[in-house]
Chain A
């Protein structure tokens, strides 16, 4: 359970951290504020998971001990979320790949047999619905916008595509979590994620 919580906590913390790097440097004030919103949501979610993990430990450690004082090798996050922001297209592509997984993952996690985890998922899925809409809309905008933006978002997907597999390949503690009923069966969500993605890429090429 602790490993599973740390996976969720680390994923959201690291992506929130990356988005926070944009604050004050966005392409436009409105986009800047939107990315800060995403960062705030994600770091907020990570705090819920870290606090839960700390409570489970019962060793007097805090959310910050878990977030700040673990060694790099102990971090459970997927490689996708730690990828540098790059240009705005890379940020959008990275977030879209993550959000489209995260959304279905949280939907399934709402059914967790662990009440506290289910409650966190219910709250988070509302936020992540908006995250997925934000990144999807930008994928479409950039894909459809200008020749340059199309090339940039395509390059970004080419560069980041390789990291998507990890999201659907369960670690042993994720399989254990799924079997015990408090986690998520990744095979079940993979088909739903794929259909969202192909629907979106079709919209994108349809607009060309």
Chain B
């Protein structure tokens, strides 16, 4: 009992001193569980997030755009890989994590349950969705668990590149034909509120400090996007959006939570499709993974 207390004290002291916790260090069970849940949810989001954009690879309008989109989606796969590896350091296998995703037990970001209807969605997703993700994730680069923090440093660097790339795509469409401009505006109209949803509900249940932190991050996002939309010569679909001189920030309207709660519950336009695609890839790949393991085992025996 006394050793337990001293372990916990030592753990807390390291957290308080802002030292990183490493895989071999003792940690409370609750800390480990929360981390596994958070990191795996994040990893699943990266991997499921490959699907809406993958939808446009074969239809990219130029070779340059096609290469850029492939590279972007490959980055997301890489993010998934770093994050699964970080989760594995906590004593859970990738297979277990995958099974939790495929059984519906583990969650992934609801944003990926929206469809990508036009090529302009590739711009809107990069600019708004990757943009909102960075805002949320920057703080994780300083989180207490070493492997997660280090993975996030790499992830955030690449996400900000994705955001710039998305913006550039929209800017090109904005300066194009009237049809291209309208297509870009339509994509922004459809992705604006879902990306705002990524900052979570303003529920009164969450502790005051966490809530105000989230509010600050969301405000920062709105302020940034509200300025950039002017450069794009487009508008955001929020009639309440206006500069508030007194606050020094943009005011903005409230989200229609009834729609988003439906998506969260699994009734979004693509929930079933996304999980079905992941399940299909996993099941159809089973024989490949088995073959690779069998071959590796035979090789080891013959050495």
Q: Provide the bound-state CA to CA distance between A142 and B281, in Å.
A: 18
**Least CB distance, B252 to chain A, in whole angstroms:** 33
Is the CB of B89 closer than 8 A to any CB of chain A? no
Q: Provide the bound-state CA to CA distance between A44 and B293, in Å.
A: 33
How does the 8 Å CB contact mask read for B57-96 relative to A, with 1 for contact and 0 for none? 1100111101100110110011011001000000000000
Q: Provide the bound-state CA to CA distance between A8 and B176, in Å.
A: 32
**Least CB distance, B137 to chain A, in whole angstroms:** 20
| A144→B70 contact, CB < 8 A | no
Shortest Cβ distance from B94 into A: residue = A29
Note all chain A residues with C-beta closer than 8 A to B71.
36, 40
| B67→A28 contact, CB < 8 A | no
Q: Provide the bound-state CA to CA distance between A146 and B292, in Å.
A: 9
CB interface residues, A 1-45, toward B, < 8 Å: 13, 17, 20-21, 23-33, 36-37, 39-40, 43-44
Classify the secondary structure of A's interface with B: helix
CB interface residues, A 132-178, toward B, < 8 Å: 140-142, 144-146, 148-149, 152
Classify the secondary structure of B's interface with A: helix
| A23→B50 contact, CB < 8 A | yes
| A152→B289 contact, CB < 8 A | no
Q: Pick the contact of B294 from A26, A28, A145, A152 — CB < 8 Å?
A: A145
Is the CB of A107 closer than 8 A to any CB of chain B? no
| A43→B63 contact, CB < 8 A | yes
* A contact residues vs B (CB 8 Å cutoff): 13, 17, 20-21, 23-33, 36-37, 39-40, 43-44, 46-47, 50, 63-64, 67-68, 87-88, 140-142, 144-146, 148-149, 152, 207
Sample of 11 A–B contacts (CB below 8 Å): A17-B58, A23-B54, A23-B74, A27-B281, A29-B47, A40-B74, A43-B63, A43-B66, A64-B64, A68-B62, A148-B290
